């Protein structure tokens, strides 16, 4: 059985619109400018249900062929069936590939003109990051990795317990899951360093989710997951968590709660 945690399709759905408005359009434009003329072959690692393709394909020239890679065949099966078109309005062609990043080989990416990922780097290990970077460096295509958690959240109004739970959440992000030590908020630094060491240029952009009361459904889901993870990591916080959750839920219900969840996007290309 795979040691990888499975992501719920409903969670990807509830965050999709905020993800789309948060990713760096500037880095996407820069990525587009690095592409060769003509046919594009884009590989999306940890593609889930294909959110990155839906967002990015219309920003790139075509014709485009995408390969969606994910270890979880179930999530690939939840792909949005609506047609996707490139910047010129041509339909994008897509296929899926069920595989773990551990098994990623440069030959898997042969012919790629761009490699992308979204909301992936923080849930992988240093070893998997090395495998991805080695494969990308070998094929030489630029990479655009969006929406990696940065390890910072701002809740407004502030609460004295925020930092306590934030620290526990970050420790949870870096936890060891059945022998896999996750990179969590260290991911962009690690991946950026690997590309820079290989002589590649690296640019990052801050891409926070900026959530207002209009995003109450996502705030509610995110907050419960964030707090549950913090308590799972540090069960001794369980006693404080009940009152804290109730305070935050009241603020959410009365339209007072705003949240910024910090992320980073990274673009890397051969110098
Ligand atoms: C948070 S989801 C993001 C999905 C999608 N990229 C998006 O932005 O909606 C992370 C995805 O990466 C996949 N994943 C995580 N670790 C993986 C690994 N080691 N090998 C292959 N897929 C992995 C998961 O199955 C999941 O679909």
Q: Is 3 inside a domain boundary?
A: no
Residue from 54, 56, 71, 177 whose mutation best tests the ligand 1 pocket (most atoms within 8 A of CB): 71
Summarize the confidence of residues 173-191 as an average pLDDT: 95
Indicate the number of domains in the chain. Answer: 1
Residue 122 Cβ contacting ligand 1 at under 6 Å = no
pLDDT tens by residue, 30-60: 999 999 999 999 999 999 999 999 999 999 9
Domain coverage including residue 173: 9-270
Q: What is the pLDDT of residue 1?
A: 46
How far is it, in rounded angstroms, from Cα 54 to Cα 77?
15
Q: Is 178 inside a domain boundary?
A: yes
Percentage of residues in the chain with pLDDT exceeding 90?
95
Cβ atoms of 77 and 99 closer than 8 Å: no
Would you say residue 86 has pLDDT above 70? yes
Q: What is the pLDDT of residue 80?
A: 86
Measured CA distances, 39 to 66, 86, 91, 135 (Å): 11, 11, 12, 21
Q: Is 259 inside a domain boundary?
A: yes
Would you say residue 6 has pLDDT above 90? no
Summarize the confidence of residues 1-25 as an average pLDDT: 90
- Give the tokens for residue 24: 């760096």
Tell the residue nearest (CA) to atom 24 of ligand 1.
46
Q: Is 225 inside a domain boundary?
A: yes
Percentage of residues in the chain with pLDDT exceeding 70?
99
The model's pTM: 0.96
How far is it, in rounded angstroms, from Cα 143 to Cα 53?
14
CATH number for the domain that contains residue 208 = 3.40.50.150
């Amino acid at each position: 059985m795979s040691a990888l945690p499975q992501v719920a399709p409903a969670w990807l759905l509830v965050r999709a619109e905020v993800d789309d408005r948060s990713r760096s359009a500037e880095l996407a434009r820069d990525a587009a400018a690095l592409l060769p003329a003509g046919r594009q072959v884009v590989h999306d690692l940890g593609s889930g249900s294909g959110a990155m393709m839906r967002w990015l394909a219309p920003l790139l020239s075509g014709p485009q062929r995408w390969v969606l890679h994910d270890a979880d065949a179930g999530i690939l099966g939840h792909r949005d069936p609506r047609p996707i078109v490139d910047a010129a309005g041509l339909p994008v062609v897509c296929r899926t590939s069920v595989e773990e990043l551990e098994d990623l080989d440069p030959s898997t990416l042969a012919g790629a003109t761009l490699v992308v990922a979204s909301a992936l780097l923080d849930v992988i290990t240093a070893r998997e990051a090395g495998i991805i970077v080695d494969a990308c460096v070998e094929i030489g295509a630029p990479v655009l990795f969006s929406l990696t958690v940065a390890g910072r959240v701002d809740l407004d109004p502030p609460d004295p317990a925020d930092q306590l739970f934030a620290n526990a959440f970050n420790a949870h992000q870096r936890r060891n899951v059945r022998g896999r030590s996750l990179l969590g908020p260290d991911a962009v630094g690690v991946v950026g360093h690997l590309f820079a060491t290989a002589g590649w240029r690296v640019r990052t952009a801050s891409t926070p989710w900026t959530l207002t009361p209009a995003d109450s459904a996502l705030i509610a889901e995110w907050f419960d997951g964030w707090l549950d993870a913090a308590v799972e990591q540090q069960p001794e916080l369980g006693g404080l968590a009940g009152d804290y959750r109730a305070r935050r839920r009241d603020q959410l219900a009365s339209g007072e709660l705003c949240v910024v969840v910090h992320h980073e996007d990274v673009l890397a290309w051969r110098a």
